[in-house]
Structure 1
């Protein structure tokens, strides 16, 4: 990963910037930094595609600071020098922290025109309104804005926000910006910025939509592509791999009913081996909620099952405040662990973040030792981004994807085609040794029974589990690699064992599965609990449930509608009356037809009675039309025409 010393950059970097980099313990540049920084400083637009964890943030932060420092004329209070656009709040906050770290190190004797002004964070969800963003901008006069596209556009269109002197625009994780639907805000944002600027697009993957954005927003950009070159054993050909060289990728196969037990065994093994941080990715927010709540309550009763593990949860449906607090707590956990003695590694705590893809890319979570993909991602491109949360900045890391036995094993070959090679990891036995998966894992079954007892102790866990199961099945049915991840091949009874459910939920997918497996013996004991007596562990919720039951029992049974029989009788009577009217008209038509036939065979002057019949028929037709238009009541029609019958 080393691509030269920082002192070799031309034009040379400022001393105080080199001092900050040295304090971060980055003695050598990464390839993306060595390629991008000189290009930026020589007035080039840059499109950088580099593997995750390759140091892209410093690759644009340092040039921005150098460009603003070297301005001949200082920026005025309300003039912007640089704008950095990020896809998520967390990434924007992280970038802002890095910039502030450099700005705090500026020497006091810096000339006014060479002093870089403050940085302002412009994101939603932090109880800061667009009006507050504008007020802070007017008060502080920042030189650099960092934020998400929507809020950035809101601020740039305000009066007095001057962009005519802007030097640099950077779009970090640019492909993610487009994936999240920010195309229109980005186009609007570009309209507020001068065309004579330096622009940088940084991403781990290049997409067609990103190529279109390059054509719209950049002028003759230089493309920087940093990949890992690997040579297979016994092969003369080299392959480009979109993974850090220090990342070891594994896959682990087990039957569905043993998957959760295997996750806990993997984490306990990692804790024993000295790992301090782990990230576990799930497919849905409901799964994260359920597994976190289940393990948290289970640990209180059975601490041995999760010995040495501490859990956090993070997903997109949490409040911004909670997501921020979780992110900070996990990021700063075990900050000094790397410098401590490893003699007590067997008793060391491993902090585990249970999350969705909200933490899959862009975030720099320090010192993550292992990433476990409990559920393979729906979008295959996300696979490498998840793995990239470990093995960052040259550190060694491990990534493990858990697969169900059977068709899902084809995912390994699929990733091989995508230039992501995986090595197998054998089944972990209850003794935490490696071996073959037993025909019946008694320890996993015991854990399942224990978890189900924990679920029985709290109705809230039961409800969370049902939601998690439903959300997983729905997500599985929509997997992009659906020729591998086929819902029809997924044994839902064994999956219910994995979720420690008490019974299978009522949903179309389960009904179809029951039809296909009607006579098959099931591993799952589908025992529906009595919902009238199933209590919440939380006393407030239980009191609300009991009160609702009491109101339901005290309410009188709904009486049958008094008008229902009358309405039914009225509808039947109306139908009968219409049938009789049709019969009368049919008889009159028949008489008219016979009369016309008689007139044709023996022509004669029309008698007064015949003329009367003709007039009666015409009158009846007119009356029927009036009745259909609502101008004549059915009773009046009956009185006039039925009396003649």
Structure 2
């Protein structure tokens, strides 16, 4: 199927063609007709499968048709796209600009971490489509700068990440301010029970589109694991980056401090690296991301929350410097590469204390990740040992064992005496 078979209007087809799109991805092929029919939608698809275009393209068409029917400009916001992170909000805004370049729709993006002046100015000029993170949206609602009483379309993007980041209460507060009559589009990479319950409360007789089973990994991504001890991980990254085929690498750490430490060490050793995480200012994060996209920076080290929304079509490698302790997070991480049908590589480092995490990941994705053994830091993947107990816990356990032994010994002595 081609895009021109999806009953899209000419201005959208022209813009989509200029972006290099000819064939819609499976999620786009199934979701776009449903949205154009003005039905609620529950869509479950992996990261990197084209979800943003799946909702923004038909939404732009419906908005354009509405404006043509009622040409008088209104300052009321009529479509709200809620998303969990600043980076993802900015990315969605950029996509809407690209797809809607030949339409007369107006949109803006709002998020926290920056001064609200320019965002407020854009809203007061009039906006049709608002892309927002929950915190900044609620803040501007409380200031009476934004009203949601004219919303006709609601999009919840990355709903599972909303749950992970603790935004569900904020989302429910926002939804309570919306008109009951609206079209709701619900997109999520995974569908845990809590997300299913939330969608049930929001959607009316929805069409369900599920492109791949929840928490499966993109087949085009070549996955591998290096068994290496924690102290050798930095040196292993350095060795890997000697391969000139690794043009760009997004490296994941579990902590902000770990991201800063690794970026500083790599830069000191001659590999230009930037780190992004929640403690960095929005301007710094955007500058670092722009440098990475342009190729000036070869490695971008990120925490999971900061990396959400990074959309780089030609990202060749994702490196899990530290394995996530939540298996689903692994799927989100490696989905940063292999996007839009491209191939990619996901490399994971697994130290002895992370082997239980690797076991959980492989159980989730129903696949054994091949191990790379020809490297100088190889650590043998022995059977996962039980976690070490603190000394006090060991002492208490020892005391309990000793008491049970004494108690049982006493019982045995009593039995012997009674027999005598």
TM-score range, shorter chain: 0.7 to 0.9
1:311 CA displacement: 1.2
C-alpha offsets along residues 533-589 of structure 1, whole Å, 9 cap, x if unaligned? xxxxxxxxxxxxxxxxxxxxxxxxxxxxxxxxxxxxxxxxxxxxxxxxxxxxxxxxx
What is aligned with 1:246? Answer: 220
What is aligned with 1:33? Answer: 28
Alignment check: 8 A CA contact 1:156 1:192 kept:
no
Counterpart CA distance in 1 for 2:375 and 2:110 is: 50
Q: Does residue 350 of structure 2 align to residue 403 of structure 1?
A: yes
What is aligned with 1:136? Answer: 122
Q: Does residue 242 of structure 2 align to residue 268 of structure 1?
A: yes
Counterpart CA distance in 2 for 1:50 and 1:35 is: 11
Instruction: Report the CA distance shift for 1:401/1:161 in structure 2 as closer, same or farther (over 3 A).
Output: closer
Alignment check: 8 A CA contact 2:36 2:58 kept:
yes
Counterpart CA distance in 2 for 1:355 and 1:165 is: 38
Alignment check: 8 A CA contact 1:360 1:382 kept:
no
Write out aligned runs for 1:14-93 (5 A).
14-71=9-66, 72-74=69-71, 76-93=73-90
What is aligned with 1:209? Answer: 194
1:327 CA displacement: 1.6
TM-score using structure 2 length: 0.85
What is aligned with 1:327? Answer: 289
User: Which residue of 359, 362, 370 maps to 1:416?
Assistant: 362
1:80 CA displacement: 1.7
Counterpart CA distance in 2 for 1:244 and 1:31 is: 13
Instruction: Report the CA distance shift for 1:188/1:256 in structure 2 as closer, same or farther (over 3 A).
Output: closer
1:161 CA displacement: 4.8
Instruction: Report the CA distance shift for 1:400/1:366 in structure 2 as closer, same or farther (over 3 A).
Output: same
SS where residue 196 of structure 1 aligns?
A: coil
Alignment check: 8 A CA contact 2:259 2:303 kept:
yes
Alignment check: 8 A CA contact 1:49 1:205 kept:
yes
User: Which residue of 255, 263, 283 maps to 1:284?
Assistant: 255
C-alpha offsets along residues 302-340 of structure 1, whole Å, 9 cap, x if unaligned? x5xxxxx42111122222221221122212326xxxxxx
Counterpart CA distance in 2 for 1:437 and 1:181 is: 38
Q: Does residue 177 of structure 2 align to residue 192 of structure 1?
A: yes
What is aligned with 1:152? Answer: 137
1:415 CA displacement: 2.5
Instruction: Report the CA distance shift for 1:427/1:104 in structure 2 as closer, same or farther (over 3 A).
Output: same
Counterpart CA distance in 2 for 1:265 and 1:428 is: 12
What is aligned with 1:119? Answer: 107
Alignment check: 8 A CA contact 1:252 1:400 kept:
yes
Instruction: Report the CA distance shift for 1:425/1:70 in structure 2 as closer, same or farther (over 3 A).
Output: same
Counterpart CA distance in 2 for 1:487 and 1:438 is: 18
Instruction: Report the CA distance shift for 1:320/1:485 in structure 2 as closer, same or farther (over 3 A).
Output: farther
What is aligned with 2:417? Answer: none
1:137 CA displacement: 1.8
1:74 CA displacement: 3.5
Alignment check: 8 A CA contact 2:91 2:309 kept:
no
What is aligned with 1:378? Answer: 325
Counterpart CA distance in 1 for 2:71 and 2:128 is: 10
Q: Does residue 222 of structure 2 align to residue 227 of structure 1?
A: no
What is aligned with 1:622? Answer: none
Bigger Cα displacement from structure 2, 88-97 vs 174-183: 174-183
Give unpaired runs (5+ residues) of structure 1: 107-114, 229-239, 304-308, 335-349, 431-435, 440-482, 490-507, 514-645
Q: Does residue 388 of structure 2 align to residue 488 of structure 1?
A: yes
CA RMSD of aligned residues (A): 2.8
Instruction: Report the CA distance shift for 1:292/1:186 in structure 2 as closer, same or farther (over 3 A).
Output: same
Write out aligned runs for 1:574-585 (5 A).
none
Q: Which has the larger radius of gyration?
A: 1
1:200 CA displacement: 0.8
C-alpha offsets along residues 411-468 of structure 1, whole Å, 9 cap, x if unaligned? 44433321242432323446xxxxx9499xxxxxxxxxxxxxxxxxxxxxxxxxxxxx
Counterpart CA distance in 1 for 2:93 and 2:357 is: 38
1:38 CA displacement: 0.6
C-alpha offsets along residues 55-75 of structure 1, whole Å, 9 cap, x if unaligned? 000011101101111112246
1:351 CA displacement: 0.7
SS where residue 67 of structure 1 aligns?
A: helix
Q: Which has the higher contact order (CA 8 A, sep 6+)?
A: 2
TM-score using structure 1 length: 0.56
Alignment check: 8 A CA contact 1:266 1:428 kept:
no
List, as ranges, runs of 4+ consecutive aligned residues in structure 1 with deviation greater than 6 Å. none
